[in-house]
Amino acid sequence: MPDNLAWITYIRWGEEYNSDILRLSVLGNNLIIVNSLEAASDLLDKRSAIYSDRPEMPMLNDLCGFGWNLAFRPCDNTWRNGRRVFQHELGPQVVKRFRGLTEQAAHRFLCSLLREPTAYMDHLRHMASHGVMRIAYGIEVAEKNDPYIDTAARVAEGIVAVCRPGAYLVDIMPFLKHVPEWFPGAQFQRDAKAWRKHMTDQHEKPFKAVKERMISGDAPDCAAKSLLESLECGDNTGSYTEDDIEFALGSMYAGASDTIVSTLGSFILGIVLNPAIQTKAQEAIDRVCPDRLPTLADQDNLPYIDAIVNESLRCNPVIPIDIPHRSTADDIYRGYYIPKGSLVLANAWAILHDEKAYPDPLRFNPDRFMKDGRLDPAVRPPDAAFGFGRRICPGQHMAHEIMWIAVACTLAAFNISKARDEHGREIPPSGEYDVGFACYPKPFVCDIHPRSREHEAHVRATMDEL
């Protein structure tokens, strides 16, 4: 098994064997690698009834206690109920009621850029956390040293460490999870114990906080309050429980932050390396909102912002290899036998860099999604970045709105360009990414400053709402 840039290796193997589906046998596990949208759709979408389960993950789910997270949970009733929770509060139409909060999070990001533009990645993470925590729990995160953000960072570190292929022998030999912590060689038990606290805190603490605020009568409108009130009054058409709500909201926070931060980091990198995109976007924004910041109500009139978000998702997907799906029945596909228990890995990178769908795929080019001033319906959107079938990210609509308004407002108010050294020479970013379970642009310096005093005034005017 390749341990670095596996998605590139799988593409090369596919070319070598002239096939978009590959089979690997790894220590008795049957792995099916899928390198095309057609094969991924045929298996994971059209046959989702038997390809929606997850493999056993002893270290992450059992020992670290992350089995509550819907992204990694087996296909059971808790998972199904969690999906209903998402649909109840974060479906494509329902999520629009939180647009005011989404725009407020973006404005907070703009104000942070005014104060400290060099820390833009920290501001992006704070914006994502603020938006998701406010929508999910009604919690306003602190500007600095927020405990919820710190917990999320520790959880992210744990997931990256645990999900690295071959990192822990217990994932290959599950019976080892019964070895006691004091036993020689049981460092994995001690690692799991440390991460378990953070992974438990991530769903327990904010949920407990919003319940306490509901009892005291000062809980603001948020998804948790709405869902808990529906339970109390018996208007629970989704048949979910309080635990289902807690796990679903915790999963939303755990998943959305990584997607938003990585994608918006790719956006800033793309703009720095391709300044003409910024010019074109600002011209469009100035036509629609000549004397104000954009809002989500402007989305239909600013399709080029959608194109930029699409390209940011496509060019460097946050999770290049989708979390494995596990088959629950024997299957035949294109004459190939896929036995029950096989793990199917969709190569999202390969799908989003398919030259037939996206010519010159390594180039950051939002115009590929445009035609005659509108989004081109003939170009497929980068949905593969959010997963497949019944396992597609249920928070994608909320994440997309946060990303859209952040891109629109940032380009409306600021110019982004290469930084310069003390001699006035440009400092080009490397364009490289830190590779792990989730991928992020490697830190790079850039220059971010208001487009004009008038644009700066628009940003400062939002401070009253914060």
pLDDT tens, position by position, 81-130: 998 888 888 788 888 899 999 999 999 999 999 999 999 999 999 999 99
What domains are defined for the chain? 6-465 (1.10.630.10)
pLDDT at position 433: 92
pLDDT in tens, 30-74: 999 999 999 999 999 999 999 999 998 999 999 999 999 999 999
Find the helix or strand (DSSP H, E) in which 352 lies: helix 348-352
Place 238 in a pLDDT band, splitting at 50, 70 and 90: low
Residue 25: its H or E element: strand 21-26
Query: What is the reported pLDDT for 432?
Result: 92
| Residue 379: predicted pLDDT | 96
Band (pLDDT 50/70/90 cuts) for residue 236 is low
* Binding-site positions for heme: 393
Rounded Cα distance, 94 and 256, in Å: 17
Residue 172: per-residue pLDDT:
81
Q: Do 284 and 242 meet the contact criterion of CB atoms below 8 Å apart?
A: no
**Concatenated DSSP letters for 383-450?**
GGGG--GGGS-TTHHHHHHHHHHHHHHHHHHEEEEEEE-TTS-EE-----EE-SSS-EEPP--EEEEE
* Inter-residue contact 338 to 432 (CB < 8 Å): no
Question: Which pLDDT score, from 0 to 100, does residue 3 have?
Answer: 64
Question: What is the pLDDT at residue 237?
Answer: 59
Split at pLDDT 50, 70, 90, the class of 168 is confident
> What is the per-residue pLDDT across 125-158, written as a single tens digit (0 to 9) for each?
999 999 999 999 999 998 888 999 899 888 888 8
Q: 354-378 pLDDT, tens per residue?
A: 999 999 999 999 999 999 999 999 9
Q: What are phi and psi of 317, to 5 degrees?
A: -60, 140
Query: Mean per-residue pLDDT for 412-431?
Result: 95
- For the sheet containing 446-450, what is the strand order? 426-427, 414-420, 446-450
Nearest to 199 by CA among 244, 164, 162: 162
Report residue 252 as tokens.
């939303």
Say which range, 2-11, 197-206, 447-456, has the weakest mean pLDDT.
Answer: 2-11
* Whole-model pTM over 0.85: yes
- Mean pLDDT along residues 249-268: 89
| Predicted local distance difference test score (pLDDT) of residue 114 | 96
Q: What is the pLDDT of residue 466?
A: 63
pLDDT at 26: 82
Confidence tier at 231 by pLDDT (50, 70, 90): confident
Among residues of the chain, what percentage have pLDDT more than 70? 98
| 301 vs 255, residue with greater confidence | 301
> What mean pLDDT comes out for the span 213-239?
85
Mean confidence (pLDDT) of the chain: 92
| The pLDDT value given to residue 170 | 86
Reference 448, options 196, 240, 275; nearest CA is 275
pLDDT at 112: 95
Which residues participate in the annotated binding site? 393
CB of 255 within 8 A of CB of 150?
no
